[in-house]
Structures are given as structure tokens and as C-alpha cells.
Amino acid sequence: MKLRKLAVAASIAAIGLSAVLVAPAASAAEEQFFPVLAYRTGAYAPNGAPWANGFVDYMKLTNARGGVNGVKLTWEECETGYATDRGVECYERLKGKHGGATAVQPLSTGITFALTEKAPVDKIPVITAGYGRSESQNGAVFGWNFPLVGTYWMGADVLVQHIGKKEGGLDKLKGKKIALVYHDSPYGKEPIALLQERAKMHGFDVQLLPVAHPGVEQKATWLQIRQSKPDYVFLWGWGVMNSTSIKEAQATGYPREKMYGVWWSGAEPDVKDVGDGAKGYNALAMQHGAEPNSKVIKEVLEKLHAKGQGTGPKEDVGQVLYMRGLISAMLQVEGVRAAQGRYGKGKRITGEQMRWGLENINLDQKALDGLGFAGVMRPVQTSCLDHMGSAWARIHTWDGKKWNFTSDWYQGDEKVLRPMVMLASAKYAEEKKIKPRTPEDCKK
């Protein structure tokens, strides 16, 4: 009895004391710190874990290559479970450590929305390579958001161009029906605006079919699809929702060849369980696909995994999401390098300097090849007003065993995207009372 009461009292005291304990932050000279907001648990873990592995591996590789002009990278992982409040808590916990975070990549559109509020105050760039708000491409309004290399409007645009090409011309899309099966969250809703704009332009119908988180309940959705028989189905899912969609498509007999997923719905975890049932399923490739034969992967295997220092299982190396994480880290490192070019090679850079660096990334094909990305990526050039840097994408298809590229390179149509981006960012600027930056502001 006494022991029980003592144990209870001790645990309450411990809880009370812990709230006041503040861990001292270790200061590090000449080291760039990056918080890694990852999710290795929860419904989205099968897709989040390979991304985090690729991300951390590239930072390890950079250190193995000698750092960025001698400056080593450090990082700390934090589990967000794809939940916005946990993501915000991780960000708050890590942003001041080791001298301050240089940039943060939330890997969740929900967390991105929340951090978009906080980043300008803390002066830490939020890199959302291939996700986030599509209008954050406009760096004049979203000064601290970097949707590098791809946004959802650009991706949806490429998909429309591709099916237009398949039909023999964008005008042949008149009267066709496209169903969008999307995750019922800001992430899934992103492409709707672009699809509706394109539908007005070319005369096709868009059928919107939301799927509630976590996305395992899709029987009703696919029965609706079987009834309405759309010509194409676009899939904007994440985590287990993707494999469920493909399984349901197989169950209701919808041809997988007519399904097109976004680049977050086109990776090995989505199709491996379904196996042959996913044969013919297409997805966007945000420039890269699965690249096991690229130079950078060979380097990772040789310098890290062969010595037992790799992150995650060796089988993941070179797969689609691993490459996505790798490329996200590469863009981050190149931002550091660009910033060092202005503020001093071999010196630690701050968040504000990193922002300048990210706005002045100038990776031509030679530089990319030098880093090991020959044949994987096309040149990336960011600027103050364009935080995306590149609008290239292509389509890859699952053949039952691996992903193969099945299309040429497409580019998002600026004539369609630019007005939409400007309109949406103007609305945001008005709502938040932000004064858009001028080119003079950017030079500082």
C-alpha cells in the first residue's frame, strides 16, 4: 500500500519536474544543422521511411565527400507521424538546436501550412520539394517557402498534357471524363483548381472523389467509378491509400493502364503488395524514377552501405521515394553551397543566408552530372520570384517488377500555371497582409 502510494507520488513528481528541465543546446562551430521531420510510424510510414532514409543518406554522403567546402552537416530526426501538431512540436523543439536549423523539410502538406506561418518569423526556409502549396512558387509573396522542382499544379498539368498527347491532341479531350480520387486533405485538394481550369479550357469533365484519411475505405469510391466509367483516373493518395486504390481498381475491373498517379502515388510501397495486379499502372515521375544504376546510388552503396553506415535497408536504396529524399537533400546542400558562394566558402550560414542560396540555385547539366545525377535530373534554376526552379516531369509505368519510363519529358505550361499562381498568391498576400517582395528586396 505504502509502496504503491510512493510510486504514484514519484511519477507525478517526475512529470512535474520534467516540464521545467531544459536540455542545454550544444553549440557547434562550422556545422550546418538540419532537422529531419520524418514519419516512421503510422499509416504513412511505408512511404515516409524510404524518403527519410534517402534524405539522411545523402547528408551522410555529403559529409563523406568532405562536407560543403569543409563544412559538415549534422541532423536530428523527429517523429511526426504525419500529424500537424506533432510536426509543429518537432519544429519548435529542433529549430534552435546546434546553433539553429538551416532549413526544414516537413514532408507533409498539412505541416507545411502550419510552418508557413512560423518560418518567416524564425527566418528558417521551408523546403517542400514536390509538395506544399502550389502558389508558394511565387517567391515574392511566399518568401520562405521553396516548392523546389515540382508543385501539384505543375504535376496535374503534365498529366493533362500527357493524356492529351495520348488522345491525339488536347482538343480531343472534349467530352472525356477524368475522375480524381484524392486524399481528403489539403494535399489531395491541391490539383483540383488546375484540373478545373484545364477542364474549362478543353471541355472535359472532372469527377471529384474524395477518400477520407487514412484511405483504406474505398469500396464506395470505386463502385462509383465503375458506374460512371471515366476515361482516366488520376490518383492523389499517400501511404496505404495508394495500394488500396489499385487493389480496388483491380477488384472492380478498372484498367490500370488508364490510372495515373501523382509522384507521391507512384512508388514501390504502393504497388509491391498488389504485384501483377498493378501492371500497367502509370504515375508521374518528378524528373527521377527508381534509379538503381545512377552514379550517385553507386556512390551511396559503396561509401555508406558497404561500410554499414547506410540508413535503412539496402533494398530501398535507389527506389523511387529513396531517390526523392536523396534529391530533396541534394537541393538543400546545393542551397548551402550557393549561399557559401556569396557569404564565404567554408563558413556556417544562417537561415536568412540559406534563403538567398536557395533563391540562387543554378544547377546546369554539368554540375548535376558531377554530383552523380546524369540522366536523372534536368537543370534547376531558382530565382527570387520563382521558387520552383524547374517544371520538368515524365511518366513511368509499373511492369510488375519495376518502374520504367514510358514518356518523353514534359514541362508544365507556364501560360496556364503563371496566372493561377499569381492570382492565388495575391489572395494569400491580401489575407495575411503581406507586402510582396521586389527584386531589390531579394538582392539583400
Partner 1 sequence: MFYRENGQFKTSYQSDQQIFAIPQDRWAILAIVAFAFLGIPLLVDEYLFRAILIPFLILSLAALGVNILVGYCGQITLGAGAFMAVGAYAAYNFLIRISGMPALGAILLGGLTAAAVGIVFGIPSLRVRGLYLAVATLAAQFFWDWAFLRVKWFTNDSSSGSVSVADINFFGWTISSPTDKYLFCLGILVAFSVMAKNLVRGNMGRQWMAIRDMDVAATVIGIRPMYAKLTAFAVSSFYVGVAGALWGMVHLGSWEPAAFSIDRSFQLLFMVIIGGMGAIVGSFFGAAFIVILPIFLNQLLPVIGGWFGLEVSIALVSHVEIMVFGALIVFFLIVEPHGIARLWSTGREKLRLWPFPH
Q: Return d(Cα 313, Cα 160) in angstroms, integer.
A: 36
- Tell me whether strands 232-236 and 259-261 are parallel, antiparallel or unpaired: parallel
Residues 6+ apart with CB under 8 A from 47: 238, 239, 242, 264, 267, 269, 270, 321
Stretch that binds partner 1, among 39-47, 123-131, 251-259, 323-331 (CB under 8 A): 39-47
CB of 319 to partner 1, least distance (A): 19
Q: Return d(Cα 270, Cα 42) in angstroms, integer.
A: 15
Nearest to 272 by CA among 319, 332, 229, 234: 319
Nearest to 327 by CA among 353, 290, 355: 290
Q: Does 417 bind partner 1 (CB under 8 A)?
A: no
C-alpha cell at position 344:
564565404
The smaller minimum CB distance to partner 1, of residues 75 and 146, is found at 75
CB of 18 to partner 1, least distance (A): 4
The smaller minimum CB distance to partner 1, of residues 32 and 116, is found at 116
Q: Does 431 bind partner 1 (CB under 8 A)?
A: yes
CB of 422 to partner 1, least distance (A): 15
Q: At what angle do helices 152-167 and 192-202 cross, to 10 degrees?
A: 30
Q: Which residues pair with 182 in a beta bridge?
A: 210, 236
Determine which residue in the list 38, 178, 296, 323 makes contact with partner 1, applying CB under 8 A.
38
Q: Does 379 bind partner 1 (CB under 8 A)?
A: no
CB of 47 to partner 1, least distance (A): 14
C-alpha cell at position 290:
527508381
Determine which residue in the list 57, 157, 190, 316 makes contact with partner 1, applying CB under 8 A.
190
* Contact indicator for 144, 355 with CB cutoff of 8 Å: yes
Stretch that binds partner 1, among 238-246, 284-292, 410-418, 430-438 (CB under 8 A): 430-438
Q: Does 418 bind partner 1 (CB under 8 A)?
A: no
Q: Does 210 bind partner 1 (CB under 8 A)?
A: yes
Hey, which residues between 219 and 278 contact partner 1 (CB under 8 A)? Answer: none
Determine which residue in the list 60, 133, 256, 378 makes contact with partner 1, applying CB under 8 A.
133
Stretch that binds partner 1, among 222-230, 271-279, 391-399, 429-437 (CB under 8 A): 429-437
C-alpha cell at position 389:
526552379
Determine which residue in the list 33, 34, 43, 45 makes contact with partner 1, applying CB under 8 A.
45
Q: How many CB atoms lie within 10 A of CB 407?
A: 18
Stretch that binds partner 1, among 14-22, 299-307, 346-354, 392-400 (CB under 8 A): 14-22
Element (H, E) at 395: strand 392-398
* Contact indicator for 211, 189 with CB cutoff of 8 Å: no
Determine which residue in the list 15, 29, 415, 444 makes contact with partner 1, applying CB under 8 A.
15
The smaller minimum CB distance to partner 1, of residues 134 and 282, is found at 134
CB of 181 to partner 1, least distance (A): 15
Size of the site for partner 1 (CB under 8 A): 47
> What's the sign of the alpha-carbon dihedral 299, 390, 203, 218?
positive
Whether the upstream peptide bond of residue 230 has omega within 30° of 0, thus cis, is no
Nearest to 105 by CA among 92, 120, 124: 124
Element (H, E) at 301: helix 295-303
Which segments within 345-390 are labelled E, that is strand? 362-363, 380-381
> What's the sign of the alpha-carbon dihedral 304, 305, 308, 313?
positive
* Contact indicator for 289, 320 with CB cutoff of 8 Å: yes
Hey, which residues between 88 and 127 contact partner 1 (CB under 8 A)? Answer: 88-89, 92-93, 96, 109-110, 113-114, 116-118, 121
C-alpha cell at position 424:
492565388
Determine which residue in the list 30, 85, 171, 257 makes contact with partner 1, applying CB under 8 A.
85
CB of 110 to partner 1, least distance (A): 6
The smaller minimum CB distance to partner 1, of residues 314 and 345, is found at 314
- What are the residues binding partner 1 (CB under 8 A)? 4, 8, 11-12, 15, 18-19, 22-23, 38, 40-41, 45, 49, 77-79, 81, 84-85, 88-89, 92-93, 96, 109-110, 113-114, 116-118, 121, 133, 184-186, 189-190, 192-193, 210, 213, 424, 431-433
